[in-house]
Amino acid sequence: MDYTLLFASFVFGAVIGSFLNAVIYRLPRGKSLVKPKHSFCPNCGKQINWYDNIPILSYIILGGKCRNCKNPIGKRYLIVEILTGIASVVAYLKTGFTVDYFFVFSFFAILIAITFIDLDFQIIPDELNLTGFILGLVYLFIRKDMEPVDGLIGAVAGSGLLWLIGYLYLKLRGIEGLGMGDVKMMVFVGVYLGWFGALFTVFFGALLGVVAGVISATLSKAEDKGKFAIPFGPFLAIASAVYMLFGDQIKSWYFGGLM
C-alpha cells in the first residue's frame, strides 16, 4: 500500500472539505458560492487570510477561534474537513486514482454537504441533487460495473418508492412525513447505485431513521412527541454510502440468501 498516495488523497479531500464548508454555509442561506471568493468569519464577517484557512491545521492552531474577533468557530467546520478527507481515502481505496475515483468521491462529497445542510435547515438544495444526478448520469456511460439502464431504473425506482411512502404517510396521518428534497435526492442516488442499491438505500435509511427517531423522541422533553421531526436526508446518505462501499457484498448476500 502506498501511504504517500493515501496521505495525498486525504489532503485533497480535506481541501474539498473546506470548500464544502462554504457550500454548507452559503447555499441554504441563498448566498453566492463565488462572491466573495475568499472565506470569511461567520461571526465578524472579516476575510480569513490564506494562512488561517489551511484545512484542519489552521483550526487546530487557532484553537477553533477567529484570529480577529476571537469568537469560537463551530467544530462542524473541522468535522467536515476530516470527514471529507476520509471519504477521499475511502474512494481511493475502492477505485485507485482512476476516473472512477472522481465520480465516487464526488458522490461522497455531495452526500456530506446534503447531510449537514439537512441537519441545520431540514432542506436538501436542488443544486446538490441536480449536480449529483448529472455526475451520475455521465458516470453511467463510463463505468463498467453497471449498465446505463440499471442506473436509470434506479433513479425512477428509488424516488418513486420514496414518493409513494411519503404520499401514503400523508394520507394516513394527515401530516407531511417526507419532503420533495428527499425524493429528488433518490433520483441522484438511484442513478449512481442502480435499482437494487436505490431500494436498499430507502429501506435501510428508513430503518436508521426509525431507530434514531425513537431514541430522539424518547430523550426529547417536547410535550407533543407525535410531532417530533428529524431530517431524513442524513440517513439516506449513510445508507447510500454503505451501499456504494459494500454493494457487491450486500447484493451477493441477499440474492444468495434467496437461493
Per-position DSSP letters for 37-83, written without gaps between them: -S-B-TTT-PBPPGGG-STTHHHHHTTTB-TTT--B--HHHHHHHHH
Helical ranges in 96-147 per DSSP H: 99-121, 126-140
Q: How far is Cα 259 from Cα 244, in angstroms, rounded to an integer?
A: 24
Cβ contacts of 178 within 8 Å, gap of 6 or more: 162, 163, 165, 166, 169, 232
The answer on 75 and 125 residing in a single domain is no
Domain boundary, last residue among 97, 114, 147 = 97
**Average pLDDT value for the chain:** 88
Q: Give the residue from 75, 78, 80, 73 showing the smallest Cα distance to 112.
A: 80
Domain, as residue range, for 165 = 98-259
Domain boundary, last residue among 40, 70, 97 = 97
The answer on 226 and 178 residing in a single domain is yes
Q: pLDDT digit string (tens) for 65-117?
A: 888 888 888 899 999 999 999 999 999 999 999 999 999 999 999 999 999 99
Helix (H, G, I), strand (E, B) or coil at 220: coil
Q: What is the mean pLDDT of residues 212-222?
A: 76
The answer on 165 and 218 residing in a single domain is yes
The answer on 130 and 92 residing in a single domain is no
Q: How far is Cα 197 from Cα 250, in angstroms, rounded to an integer?
A: 9
The answer on 166 and 92 residing in a single domain is no
Name the DSSP letter for residue 226.
Answer: G
The answer on 182 and 251 residing in a single domain is yes
- Domain count along the chain: 2
Say what the pTM is.
Answer: 0.90
Q: How far is Cα 193 from Cα 216, in angstroms, rounded to an integer?
A: 30
pLDDT for position 259? 47
Determine what percent of the chain is predicted with pLDDT higher than 90. 61
The answer on 155 and 145 residing in a single domain is yes
The answer on 107 and 211 residing in a single domain is yes
